[in-house]
Amino acid sequence: MSETLESVAVKIEVNGDPRTITVEPRTTLLDALREQLALTGTKKGCDRGECGACTVHVDGRRILSCMTLAAMQAGKRITTIEGLERDGKLHPLQAAFIEHDGFQCGFCTSGQIMSAVAMLAEAKAGWPSAATADVRRPFTVADLTGPEIRERMSGNLCRCACYPNIVDGIAEVASG
d(C-alpha 138, C-alpha 57), whole Å: 25
Q: Do 53 and 101 belong together in one domain?
A: no
Q: Residue 1's pLDDT band (boundaries 50, 70, 90)? A: low
**With the CA atoms of 121, 51, 169 and 107 taken in that order, what torsion angle do they form, in degrees rounded to the nearest 10?**
-120
Q: Which helix (H) or strand (E) holds 9?
A: strand 8-14
Per-residue pLDDT tens over the stretch 112-142:
999 999 999 999 999 999 999 999 999 999 9
Residue 46, domain CATH: 3.10.20.30
- Nearby residues of 51 by Cβ (< 8 Å), 6 or more positions away: 45, 108, 111, 156, 157
Q: Do 65 and 123 belong together in one domain?
A: no
Q: Do 42 and 76 belong together in one domain?
A: yes
Q: Do 58 and 125 belong together in one domain?
A: no
Among the candidates 34, 56, 83, a domain finishes at 83
State pTM to two decimals.
0.94
Identify the pLDDT of residue 176.
Answer: 87
Q: Residue 2's pLDDT band (boundaries 50, 70, 90)? A: low
Identify the pLDDT of residue 5.
Answer: 80
Q: Do 104 and 134 belong together in one domain?
A: yes
Q: Residue 59's pLDDT band (boundaries 50, 70, 90)? A: very high
Q: Do 61 and 105 belong together in one domain?
A: no
- Nearby residues of 159 by Cβ (< 8 Å), 6 or more positions away: 105, 107, 108
Residue 109, domain CATH: 1.10.150.120
Q: Do 151 and 112 belong together in one domain?
A: yes
Q: Does residue 2 lie within any of the structural domains?
A: no
- Residues facing residue 22 across a β-bridge: 9
Residue 4 pLDDT exceeds 90: no
Q: Residue 149's pLDDT band (boundaries 50, 70, 90)? A: very high
Q: Do 104 and 40 belong together in one domain?
A: no
Name the nearest CA neighbour of 56 among 92, 26, 31, 27: 31
Q: Does residue 133 lie within any of the structural domains?
A: yes
Identify the pLDDT of residue 166.
Answer: 97
Quote the domain boundaries for residue 12: 8-83
Q: Does residue 128 lie within any of the structural domains?
A: yes
Give the pLDDT mean for 16-42.
Answer: 97
d(C-alpha 51, C-alpha 42), whole Å: 12
d(C-alpha 151, C-alpha 130), whole Å: 7
- Nearby residues of 2 by Cβ (< 8 Å), 6 or more positions away: none
Residue 67 pLDDT exceeds 90: yes
Q: Do 96 and 159 belong together in one domain?
A: yes
